[in-house]
Amino acid sequence: MPADAACDSRPSIRVYNTLSKTKEPFLPLRPPRVGMYLCGPTVYAESHIGHMVGPVIFDTIKRFLTYCGYDVTFVVNITDVDDKLINKSVERGIPMSQIAVEMTADYLANLKELGVNQINHLPRATDHMDQIIAFIGSLEEKGFAYAVEGDVFFDVTKDAGYGQLSNRSVDAQQGEGGGAAAKKRNPGDFALWKSARSGEPSWESPWGDGRPGWHIECSAMSHEILGETFDIHGGGLDLMFPHHENERAQSTCCHDAPMVKYWMHNGLMRAGEKGKIGGKSDREEPTPETVEDAASGKISRSKGAGGLAELIRTQTGERIRFFLLRTHYRSTIIYNDETLAEAGTSLEAFYRFFDRFAEISDQSFYALEAPRRRSEGDFDPGQDSLIQEIHTIRTKFLAAMDDDFNTGLAISVLFDSLRSLNRYIDAEKLNATSDPASPAVVRLVRATTVIAELARVLGLFVRPPIAAGGDESASELLDGVVRLLIELRKEARERKDYATGDAIRDRLSALGVALLDKKEGTSWERSS
RNA sequence: GGCGACGUGGCCAAGUGGCUAAGGCGAAGGAUUGCAAAUCCUUUAUUCGUCGGUUCGAAUCCGACCGUCGCCUCCA
């Protein structure tokens, strides 16, 4: 089988490469295979919403590439040994490994709630000590690294390409003072291996007991799983320097080959003026005052950001995923309660349409059998106007995704489809009494199936929404109670007692329950 | 100080040289409704931080300025 056929021959995808600062045609090294690595968390504290930007966009990128016929291996690392973890361990008086296990569980639970389920490998640094040590040994052997009193440093002057990714010169590196600086040959050199201090977690190595420096775990693990050169490396803009610059230096020098073909960086999340979390910098000493006073800034753990699990409970994971995908991945996303709530309001229109669709067609939107491959989804629109509109929407949607994964534009196209479909339902006067086998309904199902195909590329609307902020048994109880009130109201209205009927509706409305009267009966939804 | 990003209607947000500047939220009017909600239709930026420049033509390219933000490395 020719490789090109397997990936639908899709030369149309373009990717913004941080290294070249341009959009480049996406041409993977070994089609249809694609290797993609995303820098995951250092698991020393609960995740906050800002940590989800990368996972959600790269999860979506994998979905789209898979849809286009590629076979993607998606790796997200877990850094579970680091100074912050050690500090936390001392602070809490429990082993570092326990903190790592707890926080990894938190991270993974959050990913699941946001529908991030495309990851193939989640390698942990502490499970790859052999590879890390071998990697450092190889760099030392080749003359790129040097050992001093149990520490090993990377010599940045030995890497001709150092600084290309983040556009910095070696000379401009200031470096900090402190103990390690005296051992370094150049201020910009960075640690590959750090000698152990008493009481710290450590591993045996040729340079004595110690632990890996930051950066090396990503070089070692990406090499282990994806090879010397792979297609996509992603991460937040804040990781471009020093983390990715140093990873790139280590890997290219060790293997004498490019590490990555496409470097992709997502924008950072910022708390808006009304946001409660934010601050100037991770490095700044966190104080209660800055948590309270900071009007804006990059969302960070040190400023008290966290509690994503709670946010998901009140907002739902899908709402957060939609909120993140609404903005282009390279832009700054401004977070505050209002913008997140607005995203939720927007989603309601989709959910209402899905309800409407189910009543008319006797089918669940979520159960529709939609094409999973772009080539399978291609169709001839023919002469029917609804199908033509949907075909145009599909074309626009795919063009947006082809252009550097423009999910915000793709979502706006989905809104257009909503209008087309609702207009069609109104014009055809379709309702719960319509015959599901009638041509008008069959046409609706066909058009809606295209929307399911596209939405699933974004990882949206893959399963029925869960009511925000409630557990299941409470939701069932509420549903029963509201249905009872709907019945009483119906009886009142049948005897023209509108005062009672309206009182029931208004008081439910005040409680956040909206009633929707239709020809076939009344349904309800949370309006909050 | 060095490097970089951004500034589009009340709010969020696409658009990077050329049809009438997407879409969402909000708001206003209409159709529908017992009244609402939902849905549909219409309206809501002669204008894209400011000032210049290039061009037949710029939100889009160039320069300056104003403003916002990020990075400038672990053991501080």
**Distant-in-sequence, close-in-space partners of A22: CB < 8 Å, separation ≥ 6:** A16
Asked whether A271 and A299 are in contact (CB, 8 A), the reply is yes
What does the buried/exposed string (b/e) look like for A391-406 if buried means 16 or more CB atoms within 10 Å of the residue's CB?
Answer: bebbebbbebbbbbbb
**Arithmetic mean of pLDDT, A5-20:** 72
Among A25-39, A143-157, A185-199, A270-284, name the one with the lowest average pLDDT.
Answer: A270-284
Nucleotide nearest to A168 (CA to C1'): B3
Residue A327 structure tokens: 């903005």
Nucleotide nearest to A413 (CA to C1'): B23
Asked whether A16 and A23 are in contact (CB, 8 A), the reply is yes
CA-to-CA distance for A246 and A350, rounded, in angstroms? 44
CA-to-CA distance for A339 and A181, rounded, in angstroms? 45
Asked whether A513 and A522 are in contact (CB, 8 A), the reply is no
Nucleotide nearest to A279 (CA to C1'): B69
Chain B bases near protein Cβ (<7 Å): 2-6, 11-15, 22-26, 33-41, 68-76
Mean pLDDT of chain A: 86
Assess whether A150 (CB) lies less than 7 A from strand B. no
Asked whether the predicted pLDDT for residue A285 surpasses 60, the reply is: no
Residues found in chain A:
528
Residue A192, classed as helix, strand or coil, is: strand
CA-to-CA distance for A384 and A480, rounded, in angstroms? 42
Q: Predicted confidence band at A74 (pLDDT cuts at 50, 70, 90)?
A: very high
DSSP A403: B
Contacts by A202-206, CB closer than 8 A, 24 or more apart: A203/A129, A203/A133, A205/A133, A205/A136, A206/A133, A206/A137
Assess whether A426 (CB) lies less than 7 A from strand B. yes
pLDDT tens digits for A396-417? Answer: 999 999 999 999 999 999 999 9
Among A43-57, A134-148, A264-278, A301-315, name the one with the lowest average pLDDT.
Answer: A264-278
DSSP A256: T
Is this complex's ipTM strictly greater than 0.90?
Answer: yes
pLDDT tens digits for A508-527? Answer: 887 778 888 877 778 888 77
Asked whether the predicted pLDDT for residue A6 surpasses 50, the reply is: no
Q: Predicted confidence band at A107 (pLDDT cuts at 50, 70, 90)?
A: very high
DSSP characters over A277-332: --BS-TTSPP-HHHHHH--SEE--GGGT---HHHHHHHH-HHHHHHHHHTS-TTSP
Residue A393 structure tokens: 């929407």
CA-to-CA distance for A291 and A296, rounded, in angstroms? 10
DSSP characters over A446-472: HHHHHHHHHHHHTT-SSSPPPPTT--H
CA of A296 to C1' of B69 (A): 9
Residue A36 structure tokens: 């993609």
Q: Predicted confidence band at A87 (pLDDT cuts at 50, 70, 90)?
A: confident
Q: What pLDDT, on the 0 to 100 scale, is given for residue A506?
A: 85
